[in-house]
Each structure stands twice: as C-alpha cells, then as structure tokens.
Amino acid sequence: MSTVSLQKLRKTYGKIVAVEGVDLEIAEGELIVLLGPSGCGKSTTLRMVAGLESITSGALQIGNRDVTRLEPKDRDIAMVFQNYALYPHKTIRANLAFGLKMRGMPKDEASQRVQEAAEMLDIVHLLDRKPGQLSGGQMQRVALGRALVRDPAIFLLDEPLSNLDAKLRARMREEIAMLQRRIGKAMLYVTHDQTEAMTLANRIVIMRDGKVQQIGSPLEVYDRPANAFVAGFIGSPEMNIMEGDISGGQLNLGGDVSFAVPQGAVPGQVTAGIRPEALSLTDGGVPFSVQGIEQLGSQTLFIGMMGDHRVRAMTGRRDDIFLGDTITLSVEPSAIHLFDRESGERRGAAGEG
C-alpha cells in the first residue's frame, strides 16, 4: 500500500520561511489538493515532495521508504506541470515512451504501457502526431499520459489546467477525477482555483504564508471554516466578512443592521461571516440597497450596501429587482459563522456555543 507522509516539512531561503511545518498523510487512492493564494507555499511543498526543492527540515516517506534526501528519479513519483513540457520534435508516442526508454524498460513493455495510457486518455488517434498539431486540451492529456505510463506511487500535479480556457478546464477536471478513480493512485494537486479544489479533492489543504490553515473534505471546510481567512477564501462568490458584536441575543453590525443569534452565543466583539446564498429576500428584514446585479442564469447575484457594509446576496433567478431598489434580507442564525476578532479563529457557527 503506497501511502505518502509529510512530517513537519519546512523550507527556508536564508531568513525567509517559505513553508512551516506541514504535516500530512495521503492514503493510497486519495486526491489531496493544496489550495491557497500566490506565495502561500503550496507549490514549494509539492516541489519538496518531488525532490525539486531540498527539504530544510522534517521528513518525507513514500510507501515505507524515507525519501527525504533521495533524488527525484529515485522517489517513485510522476509530475504534471503547468506547461506541458513536451518535446516538440518527437511524436506523441515518442513523448509518452521517452521516460520509460531512459529508464531502460524493454521496448515491448514500454509500447504496451503507452498503448494502455493512450486508450485510457482517448489519445490513440494522436500518437503519430507532434505536439504542434495538438490543441491545449490534447497536450494536457499527453502530459497526463506521460505521467501515467510511469505507474508511480504518487502523481504530483502543479496547476495543470491554468493554461486552458474555462470550458476546457471544466471538462479536464471531470477527466482527471475519473482517471484518478480508475487508477486508484494517490494524487497531490496544487491550485489557486477553489472550484478545482472543491470539485476534485477528497481533502483540501488550505495554506497561507507557508502554514496549513485547515485540512478537511470540501464540504467540511465550506461548512466549518477554521478561521476567517479560510471562510473568506472558500466559496464563490466569497463569504461576506463583517465586524460586529454580540449582545442581547443579536449580532449587531453597526447602525440598524442586526441579526438574531441563538441563545448561548458568547457575547463580545466578533468577526462575522455570512455566505451570499445564506441571505434570503424576506419582508421585514434588514434593508439592502441594490448597486449591482449579475444574472447567472438560474441564480441572481446582488451586490449592494447593508448599513455600512458592502454585501453580496445570492438568490434564485430574479428579474423583477433593479439597480437602485431597496430590498430586505434575512439569514438563519445557524448560517452565521463567528470568529474571534483578534486571532481570526473560529468561535463556531452561531448556536454552537
């Protein structure tokens, strides 16, 4: 069973700490997504697993082997890059077989692996073409195929879909998810795109400033973000984050803006988070001045002011509300997320104590 264990991985460049103490266990067949903004340390973490960056401290195990100081070729990994890194003068068949040839694999066995990977990725008809004759999506399949023929313990994917247009990215996400389930191997996938993370991952590792903020399933990090940063980073459109205080059973957000919280919510200053889709149009709610409208087909996103706060509210499709209108919004108390004002750490959704 090929498990992967990252044990307090740390990476520094002089006095700059790029990654600080990442602990992560990846089970065989699990797809883990490293997610975060640019500069958070996710790609550096991936590159340490790959052996492309040295590990300053900590340990890395793949299977039952300590590979912390091994060269990339000795780690039993395969990597897919953002740029496809294909040899332009070689055919697709030769590109797929090149790594196997360099490792001295017999020609017949290499040919069989190439054929099997091509069939799995539906690129058999492309094998005699060269990369310049392929579309972006086809080249990405070839890059995946080149990793697939290796049959490694873990696949490492570094922003593999960033160069594709939105429609092709969505299709390739589906294909990668289906491929991963078929092959049953561990994958470590880096992206800054939360849609990729939410749709692909078994678990998401959210990073910021080189540190892990939260590890959990997509719905766990969506429903119970560990801190205000995760709350604001996960979800599209993003969560409304507002400062306020709890007193008298109410979350007071300044002016006349307040929402009920369940009995037992701890009084005091808080940072509150409310997802746009949790806000409902109701009579007698909090006034909301509509300043922007985005029609998304089956849903409508309203952008406007609620007191002094700029807020987004997502509803079902509405074409009877216009710029300049004032509507009223409400929210279920259990849908309000509360965080410590100073540390940003979760105090629990309202009603959790």
If you write DSSP's letter for every residue of 98-126 in order, what string do you get? Answer: HHHHHTT--HHHHHHHHHHHHHHHT-GGG
Does residue 223 share a domain with residue 266?
no
Q: Indicate if 71 and 207 belong to the same structural domain.
A: yes
If asked whether residues 208 and 121 sit together in one domain, one would say: yes
Q: Of 68, 42, 145, 48, whose CA–CA distance to 100 is shortest?
A: 145
Is residue 202 domain-shared with residue 279, that is, in the same domain?
no
Q: Is residue 234 part of a domain?
A: no
pLDDT at 282: 93
Dihedral of alpha carbons 30, 35, 39, 41, sign: negative
Claim to verify: residue 185 and residue 134 sit in the same structural domain: yes
pLDDT at position 170, please? 87
Contact in structure between 338 and 274 (CB atoms under 8 Å):
no
Residue 97 lies in a domain: yes
How many beta carbons lie within 10 A of that of residue 242, not counting itself? 20
Phi, psi dihedrals of residue 44, rounded to the nearest 5°:
-65, -40
pLDDT, residue 84, reads 77
> Mean pLDDT, to the nearest integer, of 176-195?
91
Same domain, 250 and 318: yes
> Is 187 in the same domain as 61?
yes
The residue from 199, 229, 259 where one domain ends is: 229
CB atoms closer than 10 angstroms to residue 90: 14
Residues forming beta bridges with residue 62, ordered by sequence position: 4, 65
Place of tokens 């055919």: 91
The amino acid at residue 233 is: F
Band of the pLDDT at 2, cuts 50, 70, 90? Answer: low
End-to-end CA distance of the chain: 41
pTM for the structure as a whole: 0.89
Examine the pLDDT at 193 and tell me if it is beyond 50: yes
Q: Are residues 98 and 199 in the same domain?
A: yes
What is the distance between the alpha carbons of residues 346 and 341, in angstroms, rounded to a whole number? 10
Mean pLDDT computed over 260-272: 86
Distance CA(225)–CA(227), nearest Å, equals 6
Match 């990994």 to its residue by tokens: 77
> According to the model, what pLDDT value does residue 349 have?
43
- Which pLDDT belongs to residue 281? 94
Same domain, 154 and 249: no
Number of folded domains that form the chain: 2
CA separation for the pair 173, 170 (Å, rounded): 5
Domain boundary (200, 229, 258) is at 229
Domain extent, residue 311, equals 239-349
Question: Would you say how long the chain is, in residues?
Answer: 353
> Taking a C-beta distance cutoff of 8 angstroms, is the pair 235, 222 a contact?
yes
Count CB-CB contacts under 10 A for residue 343: 11
Residues 209, 262: one domain? no
- 351 pLDDT more than 50: no
pLDDT tens profile 127-142 = 999 999 998 888 888 9
**CATH code assigned at 313:** 2.40.50.140
Q: 218 and 122, same structural domain?
A: yes
Residue that is last in its domain, among 172, 194, 229: 229
Same domain, 221 and 249: no
Question: What is the tens place of the pLDDT at every residue in 22-35?
Answer: 999 999 999 999 99
Q: Is residue 145 part of a domain?
A: yes
